Chain A
Amino acid sequence: MTRMRFLTGTGIVLLLIGGAMQAYRPKLESPPVTAEIQAPDEVRQILRQRCYSCHSNETKLPWYDNLAPAYWVVRDDVLEGREHLNFSTIGAKPEAVQRGMLFESVNTVQLGSMPLPRYLAVHRDAGVTPDELATLRHYLATPPAQSAAPAPAAAAETQFQHWIASNGKPMGTQPDTQVQPEWNGVPFLPEYKNWKPVSSTERWDNHTMRQILGNDIALKAIADGKIDNWPDGTVFAKVAWLQQPDGKGGITTGAFQQVELMIKNSKTYASTEGWGWGRWRGDDLKPYGKDAAFQNECISCHEPVAHSDHVYTAPIGGAQ
């Protein structure tokens, strides 16, 4: 009898707490759909069903998501989701940017980071099915009707001539001009070009070719096979060039596009997953972004490989 009374009491208390929670209810606006993503119907259909709850202005919550405290969590996720990728407004961006976001979306799905695992734990049927994933991949693997024009050879030629004349000095000498650090304070390291090779990538999604280079600390970790948690002082550089068809069915490195650095320091960069992130674009090496918030792009894109210390590249093994 006492036990029964206790259970009833607890039930009533929980009910009262639960009821009180509903009183705090910050708003979740639904701004107008201004420029929906441009994609064929079968693609948009999948996005609508699987992604729009958090990544559009057309959020539709099931009743159980409307109850606090779940509501609070879901609302935060929706606001954050929209900020990173909003399918209701992305249509205003260039086609290449829209496709780029779809590639990133497919990758986050394949790597199991989207939909968010904790969202999937509750919304069991929300995941992208293998068939749907195949449809998305097929769409992206088919080049757009107006395929990206090859990088102009003349521009690459001018860049090359300028580079060998001004920058191609013996290693170790300072460049004439000081390259600005990134907005988050991460310094540009001109010595990156003398680091050893880690791997390379042909990126057909954005028509670039990339070399991944590493400093001595990175190379030692690779040689020792200890890459679970890269040691402080590790630096990776990822150098990208536009693809330039050679006219014989092959592709060569065209104009230099950008160099990106990841500098590991678990203390200095504790608030950004232990890495300092930077990207310098064009042959004048202009720091990317408008302010330090640019690094949120880096961090969210690298989140799916958090188990690999946020490093995407699988380094080629063996001593160097």
Chain B
Amino acid sequence: MKQLFAAISVVLLLSGCSPNPPKTVYPQLNREAEFRGGLSWNPRSGRVITSWINPGGTMTTLYGDDTAVNYARSHADGAYPAGAKLGAVTWKQQEDARWFGGRIPAQVASVEIVVAGGPYEKYEGSPLAAVPGSDAQRAQFLLQQRAAVMP
């Protein structure tokens, strides 16, 4: 009889009362990593050229407009046609709550926009605000990044 009750209660338990999964498995946007503040161009309206991880734990993705992306994917020299627009977004990182072993974007640390043959702009802070001055060396560094292979 005891065994029968055990068997019955097992069946009852199997059909219900399971522990709730953690909050992180439910749908959510990464709001922390989105842009706050005005930019002269939204780099994330473009397409990915490449990405890198910086020493000190930030991550950067370099985006480009059509002209920039088409050029980067067929040339290695970084000699973009005048007017091609590139944007580098650098995020602080956070552990991916859904994947131990992954780091994903947290707050935006900076946004840099460089136009081939044109100006270099940098935005920092929250909300993002333009940092005065130019940095020709940094602009050149961004233009020299090769496209990540996407066959």
Give me the interface of A with B, judged by CB distance under 8 Å: 11, 14-15, 18, 21, 64, 67-70, 73, 103, 106-107, 110-113, 117-118, 120-122, 137, 140, 156, 159-161, 163-164, 167-171, 175, 192-197, 199-206, 209, 211, 213, 222, 225, 227-228, 239, 241, 243, 246, 248-253, 255-256, 259, 283, 285, 304-309, 311-312, 314-320
A–B complex contacts, Cβ < 8 Å, 22 sampled: A121-B14, A122-B14, A163-B151, A164-B147, A168-B73, A168-B147, A197-B61, A201-B99, A204-B103, A211-B61, A246-B52, A250-B55, A251-B53, A253-B149, A259-B150, A259-B151, A308-B25, A312-B98, A314-B104, A316-B44, A317-B30, A318-B34
8 Å CB contact of B52 from A201, A252, A308: A252
Distance to closest chain B CB from A107 (angstroms): 6
Q: Are B47 and A167 in contact (CB under 8 A)?
A: no
Q: Are B151 and A316 in contact (CB under 8 A)?
A: no
B108 nearest CB neighbor, chain A only:
A316
Given known contacts A111-B21, A209-B51, A316 and B30 CB-to-CB distance under 8 angstroms: yes
Q: Are B35 and A318 in contact (CB under 8 A)?
A: yes
**A67, B5: Cα distance in complex, Å:** 11
Distance to closest chain A CB from B20 (angstroms): 8
Q: Are B7 and A201 in contact (CB under 8 A)?
A: no
Distance to closest chain A CB from B32 (angstroms): 9
Given known contacts A200-B104, A211-B48, A117 and B18 CB-to-CB distance under 8 angstroms: yes
Q: Are A209 and B98 in contact (CB under 8 A)?
A: no
Tally inter-chain residue pairs, CB-CB below 8 A: 226
Q: Are A70 and B10 in contact (CB under 8 A)?
A: yes
**A69, B11: Cα distance in complex, Å:** 8
The reply on B101 being an interface residue by CB < 8 A is yes
Specify which chain B residues have a CB less than 8 angstroms from the CB of A103 in the assembled complex: 100-101
- The list of the 7 closest CB pairs from A to B, nearest first, reads A205-B101, A168-B74, A249-B55, A117-B18, A318-B34, A112-B21, A256-B149
**A225, B10: Cα distance in complex, Å:** 41
**A160, B76: Cα distance in complex, Å:** 9
**A110, B101: Cα distance in complex, Å:** 12
**A144, B46: Cα distance in complex, Å:** 39
8 Å CB contact of A200 from B34, B45, B59, B66: B59
